[in-house]
Amino acid sequence: MRTKVGRWLHHVIELSPMPRFEWLRGSESRIRRFLKRCRWALLCLAVLLAWARWWPMAPLFTAPTSTVVLDREGGLLAAIVASDGQWRMPPADSIPKRFERCLTEFEDRRFRKHWGIRVPSLVRAWRQNRKAGRTVSGGSTITMQVSRMALGNRERTLWNKLKEMALALRLELRMSKDEIIRLHAANAPFGGNVVGLEAAAWRWFGKPPHELGWAESATLAVLPNAPARIHPGRNREALRAKRDRLLNRLLEVGALDSLEWSLAKDEPLPEAPLPLPRLAPHLLATLQGSGHLGRRIATTIDRSLQERITAMTDRYASLLRANEVHNAAVLVLDAPTGEVLAYIGNLSQAEQGGDVDLVRALRSTGSLLKPFLHAAMLQSGERMPDQLVPDLPTSYEGFAPRNHDGEHSGAVPASAALARSLNVPAVRALREHGVERARRMLVAMGIKGLNRGAEHYGLSLIVGGGESTIAGSLHACRSTDNCRRCRWCAGG
């Protein structure tokens, strides 16, 4: 009795009128015997493919990433190293076409044509290593390199190579080529404590990846090949030679013309790692402590305005220190939208407490609450602008408010008392309006820090007895990721 495979094969060979099966006629028994002998191998192959495609797979890369703050246009404002001391940015959505072309020409020219494993390359590498008596070539595709990074860059043994190949097959069956090359760009080592293309572009060239030229892209494309032995700080001539060979190859395949090639070869290598931008260090620290550790955070900050305000505070720092003012903060808002356009948490050269973010720190409100009390009393009809209010020596159960000049003016219009920020009329107004009533109104406005009862603040609330922040309920973060944990959401 024929098997199902035999019946199907007989049907294809005998009944099909298509001429391409003509050469199989008379060979049915031999093919059937071949399939019978290989049935276990075919079964194992089917199981392998099913495992690679559908079996659950743990996350490939779990290393911590840097916290990155971006401006409203997506430019880098500030970043901090990951918790393991590496510059490793969160994965980006795309990589520049120039870098991708350089990487594929240098590492894997047939990257988009194979299934993660290229047998001729492995055979070539085996022959070269056998002839040299040591490992001189790996024969790995870009997908296999991603597998080796995910497995921890283990020793190059036959068993580890088989594991890399198995994982590469899984990646090819589960991901697109664009996703695989982004994984490579985000996790490849680039010398020192620099991991990933974005961190490398900033550390070695001081610019984002999409602004890299051909020479810069070629330099970064060859770095992951041997980052411990060859990088801009070590074996520079060997690095230049590898870069120039890649540029020659790009000229041969027409990726760049002769003028671009000539200019690229004349570009120097970077001398030393560069510092990353630090335009909003206090905002970075605050957001990192607010549940955004290791994230890429988009904000409403205007980079140009942030730079101008930073320069302004630096100019006034010496004058402030001369007046024994060692700290200052600036928050610039767009009034119609409430977006934060500039955020200076403290003086960049502060000698005392420079790491404290004064925008978020609770501090005495001073006389800032007087206009709100005045507006509330105007709205309720308790006070008119021209109404005379007493500015006389006053004491309430041991609390005796005084004006800043120590003088009293007798009877003054309410608007003049507010304009001169007189303390005595303000305290009298708060007693008339009610401390708890005023506190609830201020909290409803979004003023943070007034979370205790009226008996705690008393009448001193209106002259600095309470604490709040410059930020209040305003926000800088535009990210919607993990919004419920974020105290900075809804800003953009």
Q: Which residues carry out catalysis?
A: 107, 367
CA separation for the pair 239, 235 (Å, rounded): 6
> In terms of Cα–Cα distance, which of 424, 453, 423, 425 is closest to 438?
453
Are 143 and 136 spatial neighbours (Cβ–Cβ below 8 Å)?
Answer: no
Q: Residue 245's Cα: distance from chain center in Å?
A: 33
